[in-house]
Amino acid sequence: MTGFALGAEQEQWCAELRTVAAARLRPLADKGEPGRVNRPLLAELGALGLLERVFDAGALELCLLRESLAYGCTEAETALALQGLGAHPVLSAGTAEQRDRWLPRVRAGRAVAAFALSEPGAGSDAAALALAAEPDPAAGGGGDARGAGGWRLTGEKCWISNAPEADFYTVFARTGEGPGAKGVTAFLVPADRPGLSGEPLDMLSPHPIGRLVFDGVPVGPADLLGEPGRGFAVAMATLNLFRPSVGAFAVGMARAALDATLAHTARRPAFGGVLGDLQAVGHRVAEMATRTEAARLLVYAAAGAYDAGAPDVPRRSAMAKLLATETAQYVVDHAVQLHGAVALQRGHLLEHLYREVRAPRIYEGASEVQRTIIARELYR
């Protein structure tokens, strides 16, 4: 890859992914229930080897995968991304026993993972989370062989993707080794742990999101992901990898909306010609295309920096997510405007994208948080 274009093999792979998304994944997504985990869709992603790629790929390949799937089936893209987000901390910080137990099932689409960071009072300021992990010698949790004591988790998590249907959760709780981010620990919590309950939330976007309640949930040393007090670093390492690929998801939606708009304006009769003949329409489509391409290139640049181990990954990741998600909102909104009332009909591609495109400007760090990260890194 150069700084400005993909190679022929990469372009071919992306085209194949778009075809697979439309032909094999879209029908399964259409059979799913909005707001619920679609296990047949996950199983198909596993059978196609796409979940395997999430854990073995570099950041650029992950971006190409998410962009291509988003173009043809946003539900498949989101299901795949949530598996990666929820299980990546297990891959990067988990023990051999944790990886052996969960990752083969996640890769095959047989186990559903979830990333449980946000809380009712700690969304953008993730270091302010309040879920308490109180020391309890009797709370062995995962059955640590050394017989050491553990903790009990008490509190709530909210707006957690795949909750409450996931099979396990990567949970970030306050153990208090230090103030703010220094007192956060990451745990792997199976869904059948006593005291853990939840409920689905009815959200604008169609993928599953829910609330979790921890009522003295026992966890032990065998459930730790990394070291006590180092959980915030686990969370940030995961987000730095996935933020550019959130941008890729947004770019995939923007490209789908742009292509739909080009096709529509090229054939829709208007004022003795077609819509595309009108300068106002042509200029708007040109702006949509230019912004989409700029966002796409910034996403690729951020992913390339991550793969190269560049020191400015936080800034690049934040820039990529910010520009791509804001651009996708712009492109989809203008695509709806150029289509007119037909785009507002339930089941229309743009009606679907209009509901999908709003959430990425909030999750994994809202646009305002990305600007804060960028400014902090520039002044560092």
CATH number of 113-229: 2.40.110.10
Let me know if the fold of 113-229 is the same as that of 233-379. no
- Residue 360, both tokens: 């990425």
Active site residue 75: no
Longest CA–CA span in the chain (Å) reads 81
CATH number of 8-108: 1.10.540.10
The verdict on whether omega for the bond into residue 218 sits within 30 degrees of 0, i.e. cis, is: no
Tens-of-pLDDT digits for all 380 residues of the chain? 445 678 999 999 999 999 999 999 999 999 999 999 999 999 999 999 999 999 998 999 999 999 999 999 999 999 999 999 999 999 999 999 999 999 999 999 999 999 999 999 887 776 788 999 999 987 765 544 334 679 999 999 999 999 999 999 999 999 988 777 789 999 999 999 999 999 999 998 888 999 999 999 999 999 999 999 999 999 999 988 898 999 999 999 999 999 999 999 999 999 999 999 999 999 999 999 999 999 999 999 999 999 999 999 999 999 999 999 999 999 999 999 999 999 999 999 999 999 999 999 999 989 999 999 999 999 99
d(CA 63, CA 113): 20
CATH 1.20.140.10 fits 233-379, yes or no: yes
CB of 285 closer than 8 Å to CB of 277: no
d(CA 288, CA 279): 14
> What pLDDT does 144 receive?
42
d(CA 43, CA 105): 10
d(CA 291, CA 289): 6
Single out the catalytic residue among 44, 67, 77, 364: 364
Sequence ranges of the domains in the chain:
8-108, 113-229, 233-379
Give Cα 211 distance to the centre of its chain. 17
> What pLDDT does 122 receive?
81
- Residue 295, both tokens: 């966002």
- Residue 258, both tokens: 């742009």
Which one, of 252, 251, 246, 236, lies nearest residue 321 by Cα? 246
> What pLDDT does 124 receive?
73
